[in-house]
Chains A and B, each alone.
Chain A
Amino acid sequence: MDLAGAGFLKSRAIFPDNNGERRWARCVAHGEERRMDELIREFVIESQEGLDRMERCLTDLESRPDDAELLAEIFRTVHTIKGATGFLGFKGLETLAHSGENLLGMLRDGTIAADAHVITVLLDLLDGLRSILKRIEEEGGESCDGKELQDTELIRRLTALQTASTEAGAGSEREKCAAPLAKPESGRSQNESGANKADGHGTLPDDARAQGRGHGAEIAGVAATPPQSSAAESTLRVDVKLLNRLMNLVGELVLTRNQVLQATAADQGMTMLSRRLDMVTADLREGVMRARMQPVSNIFSKVPRMVRDLSHTLGRSVRLEMEGQETELDKSLLEAIKDPLTHAVRNALDHGIEAPAARVAQGKPEEGVLRLRAAQEGSHVVVEISDDGSGIAVESVRARAVERGLVAPERAAEMSKRELLQLIFLPGFSTARQVTNVSGRGVGMDVVRTNVEKIGGKVELDSQPGRGTTVRMRIPLTLAIIPALIVRSLGQSFALPQSALSELVHVSGEEAKRAIEWMEDAPVYRLRGHLLPLVILDRLLGAAAGDVGGREHFIAVLDADGRKYGLVVDGLADPEEIVVKPLSPILKSVGLYSGATVLGSAELALILDPGAMATMAGITVSERDNPGNRSDTDGEEASEFEYLVVSVGGRQAAVPLKEVLRIEQVPAARMEYVDRRPVLNFGGRLLRVEDPGGRLRSAASDASVLVVVCSDGARHAGIVVDQVLDVAKGSELMEAGSESAIPGLRLLCERVTSVFDLNLPSGRDATRCEEGFTQPAAEEQDGTNEPTMATSWRDAG
């Protein structure tokens, strides 16, 4: 192959072969020069991925020192790096990788055993390689200032291991020479030696390119024999920028589709076409979003090494269990939870799991368990970090909070356990008796919460003294598209992220004067007996202070990092899934908006930042609305749930509030039927609808019905109700005599109310649905013969 004048590398594809090794398959091009730094960049990315894999293998190796597969994988990684450095002329990297390879070769051949000491040295090798790669990435070359000494020391240790643990020195010598040649890619080996000879002055790209040309024939030879596996050729590296651009365009397409759908609604001839457009757009959007997804294992894989190092430093014995690593999350979100995960793991090891002796004394197994779990639940991904350690002593939290002046003593005395646990998330809090290297500086949990909330997620903490602690992060599936409530003020639309919205209050024109009360110049509203500070949106946005009375208003009750307040807006529009567009720095600096979006009506809307509005309006975390109070929905005891009280078929029924996603007014005509069962096209997804009151049958086609959209884990369902009555807390009803709780019934608003059981079977079999949706004992309780779920299903089908 003629290579003169041609860049020796045109393009490179990654071909993972059956063993998962990524080879550098090189294709030779004519007439075009490929930039060297681009090549180096790819090499760095590639190698870093290899090292990540190697790290995982090394920690596994510790528990399975004889696993030949693992050793082979590690060997391959180091070998691949070494092979590539020959081309690129990174001398230091090559030398280090070479000595590592020698040791690994001996491990692989069973000459020496992989004991803890060897693994420690190998992990150091890994760090050494990483730091050189980092330098290459940042500075474009492996310029050594004193670093070289460290590497030399490492190489000495690597070599020492080889000579120390082999009885037959001569044998190992032969081994050493054989190792680099053991692989079939002879072209590469020759290149290495070529580079070695020529490389006198570091990393001149031209030098390397010259080398490449000189050995072009061999390179081409490698490319000419493609790996056998073709199934694995189906992966491709794509720039995140390109994905973002695609996401943007899809957002645009969604918008155009909405407008087309509106414009063609009346035209029968266009219906099929626009339906098709609708479907393709939805699929495309899902596809692009999926392309941005990465498995959680990308960040979980860092944990084994961390646990290993930490448990050595802290003298803990810890077993790590990981579950749900295949769960996928948007790349940017994955990045954002990296730090929180690290902090939570550090905390678990430092404050959670006790020293082995202490564990034995408490009758626990010597080895502690750290469990990482990831799972998708509806539109969220839940990441749990739990340990079986000492748990959090609530009393010491109380004492520490008072000591640090975070809470007034009187207030602390009356705080519930759940409230106290929330204090751990406050900045400056740590129960560790002393500050260690690992944690205890009081920033950890604060960082966890801040980072997770920044991406619209939530953190929960659960702890049983003596039994362990669980940190649960709930992360939205994607960042780019969020559900939002559209509110109107100043004659324009604003989007309010639903994650911060806890409820909506309607204040009619005649009520307004009375309902919105004033303390000096601060408006307040009595929300279930408590004063809720109000922020009047148009005033916050600079409108002249007009009279609030006399006009209709809505109060959106928001909860921003524990700061609870009501946002007074002029009107509400339908909730929408909005595509978040970033704002220019100048508008970000206004400090109220977190982005902008284009609504279905093609109108632009600014996205309000609930936290920033609270700050601007001077709302602070009040005593009552302390972080602890925020989670009072799932109260102290399980029986104290809050319920949405509705009326269905003339009777009072309830849905657990935390399962309610939305309440929507839906035109009856929009209801469609599959197997004569009602379903709803809900934001592009099919929503199964239950109609226990038989309202759909009686509704005129131009009427609209009220649908409560509920979620139960990953499944959603809609329930047609007559009207929404209230939100109430309910306690379990005890059966007279037996004193056992009656399932499915609660006392709400002083009436016995049946609670919808949303634990629906997924099968399409109607009889199974009936079982899942009956209202136990309801008929016996009050004797009325109201239609139950079961009957309505029969009627509908």
Chain B
Amino acid sequence: MSKVPESESAKLIQVCSVRVAEELYGIPLGDILEIVGGARPQAVPLAPDFIAGLVHYRGDVLTTVNLRRVLGMPPAEMVQDLLVLEDADGPFGLAVDSVREVLTVSSADFEAKPSTVRKRKALFAGAFKLRDSLMVMLETAQLQPMRLAQLPEDV
């Protein structure tokens, strides 16, 4: 993960923290185009499980990934928040339970994922050790819908 270097001299990094079920995840702020509250994606029949649907965003139709499904959790009942992320293939949406806050964290608190993380390990970069919990950093590029389709389940 290039944006969170495990460098000798600690750097300050801005991370957007999101909640999914009881877990806290982090996404580098630089990868986020916009945060949309309370979006209701339009379902796409026959689309893969992890696709939440389509969202209308600034004249474009965004394919939205359901982070719950990606992480193997049951779909949420409530209205979710939406992050608009961008990678080389263009913008896409990521539905999370709720967007918490933008944290400024020090790279000194970052640790790469331990080798014991086996399930969906490509999705995670590592974690920041916050005072009372861990914030697991997500690999934005891996959340891209086309990538997810190729992602093996448990390797």
Does B51 lie at the interface of the complex (its beta carbon under 8 Å from any beta carbon of A)? yes
Does B26 lie at the interface of the complex (its beta carbon under 8 Å from any beta carbon of A)? no
A368–B145 alpha-carbon span in the complex (Å) = 56
Which one of B54-62, B100-108, B125-133, B135-143 contacts A?
A: B54-62
Cβ-defined contact, A252 with B61, below 8 A = no
Cβ-defined contact, A586 with B58, below 8 A = no
Cβ-defined contact, A248 with B60, below 8 A = yes
Does A602 lie at the interface of the complex (its beta carbon under 8 Å from any beta carbon of B)? yes
Cβ-defined contact, B45 with A251, below 8 A = no
Give the contact-size bracket for chain A.
20 to 34
A490–B54 alpha-carbon span in the complex (Å) = 16
Cβ-defined contact, B44 with A590, below 8 A = yes
> Using an 8 Å CB-CB cutoff, how does the interface string of A570-599 with B read, 1 for contact, 0 for none?
000000000001111111011011001110
Cβ-defined contact, B42 with A583, below 8 A = no
A582–B43 alpha-carbon span in the complex (Å) = 16
Contacts of A605 in B (CB 8 A): 42
Chain A: minimal CB distance from B138 (Å): 18
Q: How many residues does chain B have at the interface if contact means C-beta atoms less than 8 Å apart?
A: 22
Cβ-defined contact, B43 with A592, below 8 A = no
Contacts of A606 in B (CB 8 A): 42, 44, 54
Number of A-B contacts (CB under 8 A): 62
Cβ-defined contact, B59 with A541, below 8 A = no
Does B155 lie at the interface of the complex (its beta carbon under 8 Å from any beta carbon of A)? no
Cβ-defined contact, B59 with A252, below 8 A = yes
Cβ-defined contact, B56 with A542, below 8 A = no
Does A414 lie at the interface of the complex (its beta carbon under 8 Å from any beta carbon of B)? no
Cβ-defined contact, A584 with B59, below 8 A = no
Question: With A492-B42, A542-B45, A603-B42 as given contacts, are A596 and B54 in contact (CB-CB < 8 Å)?
Answer: yes
Does A604 lie at the interface of the complex (its beta carbon under 8 Å from any beta carbon of B)? yes
Cβ-defined contact, A586 with B51, below 8 A = yes
Does B63 lie at the interface of the complex (its beta carbon under 8 Å from any beta carbon of A)? yes
Of listed A251, A596, A602, residue having the most chain B CB within 10 A: A596
> Using an 8 Å CB-CB cutoff, how does the interface string of B41-73 with A read, 1 for contact, 0 for none?
011111110010011101111010000000000
Nearest B-chain residue to A591, judged by Cβ: B46
Does B149 lie at the interface of the complex (its beta carbon under 8 Å from any beta carbon of A)? yes
Query: Of B46, B56, B92, which contacts A602 at CB under 8 A?
Result: B56
Contacts of B88 in A (CB 8 A): none
Question: With A584-B145, A585-B146, A586-B149 as given contacts, are A249 and B44 in contact (CB-CB < 8 Å)?
Answer: no
Cβ-defined contact, A590 with B47, below 8 A = yes
Chain B: minimal CB distance from A233 (Å): 32
Question: With A492-B42, A590-B44 as given contacts, are A598 and B146 in contact (CB-CB < 8 Å)?
Answer: no
A248–B149 alpha-carbon span in the complex (Å) = 28
Give residues of chain A (534-549) contacting chain B, Cβ–Cβ below 8 Å. Answer: 541-543
Nearest A-chain residue to B148, judged by Cβ: A586
Report which B residues bind A (CB closer than 8 A).
42-48, 51, 54-56, 58-61, 63, 90, 92, 145-146, 148-149
A585-B145, A590-B47, A606-B44 given; name 4 further pairs at CB < 8 Å. A252-B58, A541-B45, A586-B148, A589-B149
